[in-house]
Amino acid sequence: MNNSPFVRKPASVQSVMLQVLVALLPGIAAYVWFYGAGILVNLLIASITALTGEALMLTARGKPRGMFLGDLSAIVTAWLIALTFPPIVPWWLTVTATLLAIVVVKQLYGGLGQNPFNPAMGAFCLMIVAYPALMSQWPSAGQLDFASQLQLILGGERVADAITGATPLDTLRTLLRAGNHAGQTTAQLMQDPAFGHLGGAGSEWIALGYLVGGLFLVQRRIITWHIPAGFCGGLALVALLPWALHPAQYASPAFHLATGGAMLGAFFILTDPVSGATTPRGKLIFAAGAALLTYVIRNFGAYPDGIAFATLLMNILVPIIDMKTQAPVFGHKKKD
């Protein structure tokens, strides 16, 4: 664009979605390194299910299948579902969640660009409410080999106490709520093998992978900085005061950012251009609200991580946020 009129060529949906998938690869690589290749099986199951469900719905609606299946949006939804689920969930749970996301949350609202809620997070919330035990079975880093993971995914016997442990968020919250930490601060409690330098052992490196991929999307201008900065800054800020006043009872801002789905949510979930806010100021408000809700759910709710519920709750507010943050129209007087 060295000469006027400096018109940019619009990016296709397929190009945007492909770059999102590429950006997820560093996090997936870290996931495989620390937790095993079972996640790859779930990614494959979710992808096949998403394409099948999308094809059936497009046929039923009389829409061209080739164009919509080729835009890769269904694959992005499938990958986000698989990456937010435990890597050893049974195959039918992944299939059910993916069909709910594609058929109910996306296609029944009119398809790509029409859904008011994030499809992946809608499916996650439905599954964790319906199957809380299965959705809470997370293996520790390096605990299961690929053969064991594959057996569990395909329907093998599940002895939860033998194969799983609590997530780092759950572990820390349980220790703090139990009141048996003998006055130790969260920093001292994090000497437990379940924790790494900043967050969960292994999960902090996955978060770093998502951060690298997210910064790639910002650099490519696939997403803007507003939502990641608003969410990460908001989560750190809201966690800072309780931690500073009562370090024995509350985790540090760094722990909240490096654990759970914080980085995945900041760069890949909340930045959904369909269900998220669209104005620059609105994006900051949307992200800050999601950060506040995430912190409240993590510390006082029934679930260890609040990204999914926070996303859906803020999706409800998007129309009013966008309406109230529209820039003034040039040449029009503001009404009294």
For residue 234, the surrounding DSSP H or E stretch is helix 226-245
| Among candidate residues 283, 272, 261, the one with its CA nearest the CA of residue 20 | 272
CB atoms within 10 A of CB 160: 11
Query: Which one-letter amino acid corresponds to residue 316?
Result: I
Domains of the chain: which residue ranges?
11-165, 180-325
- Residue with token string 């939804």: 77
pLDDT (tens, 9 = 90+) of the chain, 336 residues, equals 455 555 555 568 889 999 999 999 999 999 999 888 999 999 999 999 999 999 999 999 888 888 778 889 999 999 999 999 999 999 999 999 999 999 999 998 888 888 899 999 999 999 999 998 888 888 877 778 888 889 899 986 766 554 555 566 666 666 666 555 545 556 666 666 566 666 666 788 999 999 999 999 999 999 999 999 999 999 999 999 988 888 777 888 988 898 888 999 999 999 999 999 999 999 999 999 999 999 999 888 777 788 999 999 999 999 999 999 987 766 656 665
Separation between Cα atoms, residue 186 and residue 176, nearest integer Å: 8
The predicted pLDDT at position 158 comes to 66
CA-to-CA separations, 19 to 12, 32, 84, in angstroms, rounded: 11, 20, 19
- Residue with token string 């002895």: 159
The predicted pLDDT at position 245 comes to 86
108: DSSP letter: G
CB atoms within 10 A of CB 36: 23
Token pair of 285, please?
A: 């408000």
Buried-state track 65-85, b at ≥16 Cβ within 10 A, e below 16 = eeebbebbbbbbbbbbbbbbb
Query: Which one-letter amino acid corresponds to residue 156?
Result: G
The predicted pLDDT at position 9 comes to 56
Separation between Cα atoms, residue 133 and residue 205, nearest integer Å: 26
| Among candidate residues 132, 126, 128, the one with its CA nearest the CA of residue 102 | 126
